[in-house]
Amino acid sequence: MPLPLDRCVDNERSPPSGVRHMHWIALIVLLLPAISASGQDASWTHWGGDPGGMRYAELDQITPENVDQLEELWTWRHGDLSDQTPPFRTTSAFELTPLLVEGTLYGCTPFNRVFALDPLTGKELWIFDPEIDKHAGWSNQLVCRGVASWIDPVAEVGARCRHRILTNTVDARLFAIDAGTGTPCTDFGEGGSVDLNPGVGDQRWKGEYQLTSAPTLAGDLVVVGSAIGDNARIEAPSGVIRAFDVRTGEMAWAWDLAPPDEPGGKRDPDSGWMLSTPNVWAPMSYDPERDLLFVPTGNPTPDYANAHRQGLDYYGSSTVALHARTGEVAWSFQTVHHDVWDLDVASQPVLFPLRRGDQMIPAVVQSTKSSHLFILDRETGEPLIPVEERPVPQGGEDDFVLSPTQPFPVRPPPLMRLSITPEDVWGLTFWDRGYCREQVERLRFDGAFTPPTTQGTIMIPGNAGGTNWGGVAVDPERQLLVANVMDLPWVVTLFPRAQFEDARAEQPDVEHGRQEGTPWGMRREFFLSNFFLPCNPPPWGTLHAVDLETGDLRWSVPIGDLPLVGTIGLPNMGGPLVTKSGLVFLAATFDSTFRAFDIETGEVLWEASLPAGGQAIPMSYRIDGRQVVVIAAGGFGRIPIPGNLGDSLVAYALPADSGVAE
């Protein structure tokens, strides 16, 4: 068995420091799951590249010197589009990061159809359709961000269902599919699937409870969370996390996120799981050596009222480490206390080896919507860079339960601006600048974590982040973290819930939530001028590189261009990929452009126009001597721009005659 990359060096027995340093660099190069920088094939076997989600491709065929030669290798189109026009009630989003396992590319469409492609040509090999109801009112879009792959170590090569593709659906089913044929593994659950709906509580409508992120493999267990319809009501479905035997589909354990002291609250009468707990809709990570599962949690619904929670947010907006065999809590770290801002932890915890002098410490970094990065000891949850509890604004509505402080890491600084004043506002003319200035003066904003109010509160950060599900990427050799962030404030206004219908009729084009069971309805909208442009100044999107050894910012650059204006920094949704050769690939910006950056400087080295927005996370592999980079180009369904949606999976490679392929 190979040595773990992140095991601490025994200082008493280790060689001199220079030799130790080279030893760890060599281990990182040789053993990372992204495989090899040589001519051998290199796979992408997990949603985040490796079980810990570093999104690091140890490939160097495409380099800063030749990346400008990249050209389209193939495009595959799936056809699964929903734009909320009848009979569709929910928009679709193609936010996939596919897998490359044993020479085949696997992924899923927004309608949860699972597919297999030839990775060199994009030719469709098979497709499996779970036949979801495409016309239901799904709470969180029609989306499938990825699948999982499991290979039975004791089965004979070629045996049916030796290699299984695991996928979960928006209608809360978990499937095991034979990777060779695309047919269900009938020994899993009932005919190849497990129904995840029983036991989570009554659902008010079809689509209140769904699954959108890829399932997580932990040995021979497959673990799933859920996405819950926010802001509708208290006593929403349970946020239970469940683990199932990957061979049989039998449930191994369930963790329902109820606090240790068992506060008052309603439980499902059949399962006993607590309702309205935090849920886990974002991807999880797994440490095979320690058998720890790392879980990013949401906050209990409704988002903008919390008097009813009675301690149910104990595990809310946190990173929690679970013992993967049992589901028991090893430790938890809360990133937001008593969250009433919808700052749930939306991104995958990233496991990486942190270099500290002559040691490599097993670490986990959690990016957050608040644009903070928390770097923690993977075994204990203790901060490896100090975290301070700092006073935050108080004085919300009378029934709110607010924490007097919130956690702030000492380093790095927040990755977005956390303030705005009347003098800060932006606009194209003095008319829209004046409008924005009036709004800042009218609305409440006392700094980050200003509570929602009936006056109306500017939310900085907004509920979309900061960083969202796109998360961050880590280069373990350079000890650099790369993060794209969005800087778009929102405005949240509370009103007596009895006035809900009048409030919605007054502003029908913005989001409203009933928050049943609380005194408050809510309205949520972008902080825009009367010209429908952001009131805060650009950049609205930035790419950062953080030195993990020191916690300092290495560089920051705006990302995204406007015609006739140039690079201004645009809103973005998705995440980065880093490669051994020193490239950062990113397609998250809303200008439908795929870019490669120099990881040392942030300089743009290559860009290509996509058929739709690349609101996804790229991945890379090497097959038959060629390195390929793949991005899903599907747009972002929640932006009402005509023609915004797409259905393309696009692959890029160097020209076949470039001379670099082996």
Residues 6+ apart with CB under 8 A from 236: 201, 208, 228, 229, 275, 276, 301
Residue 19: its H or E element = helix 17-31
342 an active-site residue?
yes
Q: In this structure, what token pair is assigned to residue 100?
A: 């490359």
Q: Please tell me the total number of residues recorded for the chain in this structure.
A: 662
Q: Tell me which residue of 199, 337, 317, 313 sits closest to 259, measured CA to CA.
A: 313
User: What is the spatial distance between Cα 626 and Cα 230, in angstroms, rounded to a whole number?
Assistant: 44
CA-based max dimension of the chain: 73
Query: Can you give the C-alpha Rg of the chain in angstroms?
Result: 24
User: What is the spatial distance between Cα 520 and Cα 340, in angstroms, rounded to a whole number?
Assistant: 12
The DSSP code for 184 is B
Catalytic-labelled residue, pool 342, 432, 561, 591: 342
Do the Cβ atoms of 608 and 75 come closer than 8 Å? no
Angle at 173 between CA 170 and CA 178, to 5 degrees: 110
Positive or negative, the CA dihedral 268, 146, 188, 186 is positive
Do the Cβ atoms of 203 and 236 come closer than 8 Å? no
Positive or negative, the CA dihedral 314, 317, 319, 324 is positive
Residues 6+ apart with CB under 8 A from 51: 33, 217, 285, 286, 287, 288, 351
Do the Cβ atoms of 264 and 317 come closer than 8 Å? no
Q: In this structure, what token pair is assigned to residue 154?
A: 């004791």
Task: Say how many CA atoms lie within 13 Å of 658 toward its Cβ.
Answer: 20
Q: Tell me which residue of 156, 193, 192, 162 sits closest to 180, measured CA to CA.
A: 162
Output phi, psi for 81, to 5 deg.
Answer: -125, 140
Cite the active site residues: 342
